[in-house]
């Protein structure tokens, strides 16, 4: 169920990201900045259950958020085709970086978890 208060909190983070983008002149979308700010907040404070439920309810509507992007792709087909090689290179490089980063994180957390598990059994 969508909790209006926590929906407002999510929008406030998005607006905060947009404001930061404008003030700092960043080339990153404000929604991404807001999402990163929300992630940092949740790294220090556990999100309330109602907020998790609100976010989960929004995820059900995720396909609707891709409609504007699809329309944009159709509107700028010529520009996309003219820049196809750099786009493909960026996508492949970004995917590889994400894979490497994910593998390193999993290995690090697995070692930490293994060390904690071993320490608990040795006590």
- 9 in a structural domain: yes
- 50 in a structural domain: yes
- 91 in a structural domain: yes
- 117 in a structural domain: no
What is the residue range of 37's domain? 2-109
Residue 67 has a pLDDT of 81
Full-model pTM: 0.57
**In whole angstroms, what is the distance from residue 27 CA to residue 33 CA?**
10
pLDDT per position as a tens digit, 29-83: 899 999 999 999 999 999 999 999 998 998 888 888 778 777 878 888 899 899 9
pLDDT per position as a tens digit, 5-33: 999 999 999 999 999 999 999 988 899 99
Look up residue 64 and give its DSSP letter. Answer: G
Look up residue 61 and give its DSSP letter. Answer: T
Left (φ > 0), alpha (ψ -120 to 50) or beta: where does 25 sit?
Answer: left
Contacts of 83 (CB under 8 A, 6+ apart): none
Whether residue 109 is predicted with pLDDT greater than 90 in this model: the reply is no
- 31 in a structural domain: yes
Contacts of 54 (CB under 8 A, 6+ apart): 1, 2, 3, 6, 7, 10
Residue 120 has a pLDDT of 66
Number of domains making up the chain: 1
């Amino acid at each position: 169920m969508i909790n209006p208060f926590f929906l407002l909190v999510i929008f406030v983070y998005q607006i905060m990201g947009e404001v930061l983008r404008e003030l700092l002149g960043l080339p990153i979308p404000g929604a991404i900045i807001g999402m990163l700010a929300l992630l940092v907040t949740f790294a220090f404070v556990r999100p309330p259950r109602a907020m998790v439920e609100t976010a989960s309810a929004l995820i059900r509507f995720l396909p609707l958020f891709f409609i504007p992007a699809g329309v944009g792709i159709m509107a700028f087909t010529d520009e996309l085709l003219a820049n196809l090689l750099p786009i493909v290179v960026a996508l492949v490089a970004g995917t590889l970086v994400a894979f490497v980063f994910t593998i390193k994180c999993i290995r690090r957390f697995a070692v930490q978890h293994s060390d904690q598990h071993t320490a608990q059994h040795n006590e």
